[in-house]
Amino acid sequence: MTVAVVTFDLDNTLWDVEPALLRAEAAQRAWLERHRPGALAGLDDSALFERKRALVRREPRLAHHVSDMRRQFLYELQRDAGYGEREARAGAEAAFTVFLGERHKVELYEEALMVIEQLARHYRIGALTNGNADIYKTDAGDYFDFAFLAEDVGASKPALALFRAAIERAGVAAAAIAHVGDSPAHDVAGAREAGMKTVWFNPGAEPWDPAQGARPDATVRQLTELPSALAAL
């Protein structure tokens, strides 16, 4: 079946997410240190990470609602430091807003915008992400017909819910959708199980692990290879 719709993973597929996350974490820390003294007392990065893990173990649904997870994490930090309920709730929202503002300042891979613009002439374009980045806050947003975050459906890739949401929104058969992503487990395996065609973005030329199941329908090392790879599916 001819491909009519192309969906993209976002983080580490259209941009390198680490620089944005590092800036966002630094901005969040600076806000807390200035506006909520003591909230981070005695907590290094390792301790903060473990607190997030403990929170998700305690409330598993937050694994698929990363924005709610961060708000609750920030709230608990402040409550544990002695801040009152209302102050901690307000502080959590303010610190999260600072974090998210920096989180959205991603830098698209050099060729990404050109490739997406080219693909949008022939396909409808969608985004499927486990993170909380908003594609519409990037330079590529104008080319996307729809976008779903894991927190929109309450499940993260490779669970089928996110892929099924895209299929329903696109209004085409699953086999008429090609999903592009960097994760063999989250993107390739999940999309394959949903019945979509799969394109593995593999800039590091990593070997395919047979434990991940059937190979993707196509593999590209550069986004500029996508137009020809999709045309061949």
Dist. CA 147–CA 162, nearest whole Å? 10
pLDDT of 209 reads 93
Regarding whether 225 and 113 lie in a shared domain, the answer is yes
Regarding whether 129 and 74 lie in a shared domain, the answer is no
Regarding whether 148 and 194 lie in a shared domain, the answer is yes
Dist. CA 94–CA 71, nearest whole Å? 9
Dist. CA 123–CA 229, nearest whole Å? 13
Can you give the CATH number for the domain in which 182 is found? 3.40.50.1000
Q: What is the pTM of this model?
A: 0.92
- For 43-84, the pLDDT digits (tens) are 998 999 999 999 999 999 999 999 999 999 999 999 999 999
Q: Is the dihedral of CA 169, 175, 177, 178 positive or negative?
A: positive
pLDDT of 11 reads 97
Helix (H, G, I), strand (E, B) or coil at 178: strand
**DSSP state for residue 207 in the 8-state scheme:** P
Regarding whether 40 and 60 lie in a shared domain, the answer is yes
Percent of the chain with pLDDT strictly greater than 70: 100
* Domain-ending residue, one of 103, 119, 149: 103
Dist. CA 5–CA 212, nearest whole Å? 24
Phi-psi region of 125 (alpha: psi -120 to 50; beta: other; left: phi over 0): beta
Mean pLDDT on 98-124: 96
- For 200-209, the pLDDT digits (tens) are 999 999 999 9
Regarding whether 11 and 126 lie in a shared domain, the answer is yes
Regarding whether 147 and 212 lie in a shared domain, the answer is yes
How many domains, in total, are found in the chain? Answer: 2
Regarding whether 118 and 35 lie in a shared domain, the answer is no
pLDDT of 8 higher than 90:
yes
* Domain-ending residue, one of 103, 124, 153: 103
Dist. CA 74–CA 28, nearest whole Å? 10
Read off the tokens for 37. Answer: 């003294």
* Domain-ending residue, one of 42, 69, 103: 103
Regarding whether 135 and 209 lie in a shared domain, the answer is yes
Regarding whether 128 and 212 lie in a shared domain, the answer is yes
Mean pLDDT on 6-27: 97
Regarding whether 119 and 224 lie in a shared domain, the answer is yes
Can you give the CATH number for the domain in which 91 is found? 1.20.120.1600
Regarding whether 193 and 122 lie in a shared domain, the answer is yes
pLDDT of 1 higher than 90:
no
Q: Containing domain of residue 61, as a range?
A: 18-103
Regarding whether 153 and 59 lie in a shared domain, the answer is no
- Average pLDDT over all residues of the chain: 96
